[in-house]
Amino acid sequence: MSIRYLKEILREGKHIVCLLGREAAAQNGGVFYQRDFSYDIESKYGMSPDEIFSTTYFHNRPQEFFRFYREEVLMKRAEPTGVHSVLKRMQDDGKLSAIITRGFFNASQKAGCTNVIHLYGTVDDNRCPHCGEKYSAEYILEHRPIPKCEKCGTMIHPGVILAGEMLDSSVVTNAAEAISCADTLLVVGCNLASRLGSLARYFNGNKIALVNTIEHYTDRRADCVCIGPSLEDILTGAYPEAEPESEITEADGTRKTDKERDKK
Ligand SMILES: [Zn+2]
Q: How far is the CA of 162 from the centre of ligand 1 (A)?
A: 19
Q: Give 42's pLDDT tier (boundaries 50, 70, 90).
A: confident
CB 236 within 8 A of CB 86: yes
* Any domain includes 196: yes
Q: How far is the CA of 73 from the centre of ligand 1 (A)?
A: 23
* Any domain includes 149: no
Average pLDDT over residues 149-158: 97
Q: What is the pLDDT of residues 208-237, one digit of tens each?
A: 999 999 999 999 999 999 999 999 999 999
Q: How far is the CA of 170 from the centre of ligand 1 (A)?
A: 23
| Structural domain for 227, as ranges | 1-26+80-120+166-264
What is the rounded distance in angstroms from the CA atom of residue 102 to the CA atom of residue 170?
A: 15
* Any domain includes 186: yes
> To the nearest whole percent, how much of the chain has pLDDT over 70?
87
Q: How far is the CA of 79 from the centre of ligand 1 (A)?
A: 30
- The answer on pLDDT for 263 being more than 60 is no
Average pLDDT over residues 148-177: 96
Average pLDDT over residues 10-34: 82
* Any domain includes 133: no
CB 48 within 8 A of CB 72: no
What is the rounded distance in angstroms from the CA atom of residue 96 to the CA atom of residue 87?
A: 7
Of 130 and 23, the structure prediction assigns the larger pLDDT to 130
Residue 32: CA count within 13 A, CB half-sphere: 25
- The answer on pLDDT for 92 being more than 60 is yes
Average pLDDT of the chain to the nearest whole number? 89
- The answer on pLDDT for 259 being more than 60 is no
Residues in CB range of 44: below 8 A, 6 or more apart: none
CB 211 within 8 A of CB 226: yes
**Cα four-point dihedral sign 43, 46, 48, 49:** negative
Q: How far is the CA of 69 from the centre of ligand 1 (A)?
A: 20
- The answer on pLDDT for 257 being more than 60 is no
* Any domain includes 73: no
- pTM, entire model: 0.86
* Any domain includes 147: no
Average pLDDT over residues 20-38: 72
Q: Give 36's pLDDT tier (boundaries 50, 70, 90).
A: confident
Q: How far is the CA of 127 from the centre of ligand 1 (A)?
A: 8
Average pLDDT over residues 37-49: 85
Looking at residue 38, what is its pLDDT? 81
Q: Give 39's pLDDT tier (boundaries 50, 70, 90).
A: confident
Residues around the ion ligand 1 (C-beta < 5 A)? 128, 130-131, 133, 149, 151-152, 154
In the chain, how many domains are there?
Answer: 1
Per-residue 3-state assignment (H helix, E strand, C coil) for 27-54:
HCCCHHHCCCHHHHHHHHHCCCHHHHCE
* Any domain includes 53: no
Q: How far is the CA of 177 from the centre of ligand 1 (A)?
A: 32
Q: What is the pLDDT of residues 182-200, one digit of tens each?
A: 999 999 999 999 999 999 9
What is the rounded distance in angstroms from the CA atom of residue 160 to the CA atom of residue 167?
A: 10
Q: How far is the CA of 159 from the centre of ligand 1 (A)?
A: 14
- The answer on pLDDT for 52 being more than 70 is yes
Looking at residue 76, what is its pLDDT? 85
Looking at residue 12, what is its pLDDT? 96
- The answer on pLDDT for 57 being more than 90 is yes
Q: How far is the CA of 194 from the centre of ligand 1 (A)?
A: 35
Tell me, what CATH number does 255's domain have? 3.40.50.1220
* Any domain includes 9: yes
Looking at residue 264, what is its pLDDT? 44
Q: How far is the CA of 155 from the centre of ligand 1 (A)?
A: 8
Looking at residue 103, what is its pLDDT? 87
Average pLDDT over residues 12-35: 80
Q: How far is the CA of 151 from the centre of ligand 1 (A)?
A: 5
CB 192 within 8 A of CB 216: yes
Q: How far is the CA of 136 from the centre of ligand 1 (A)?
A: 14
Q: How far is the CA of 147 from the centre of ligand 1 (A)?
A: 11
Residue 170 CB neighbour total at 10 angstroms: 8
Largest CA distance in the chain: 79
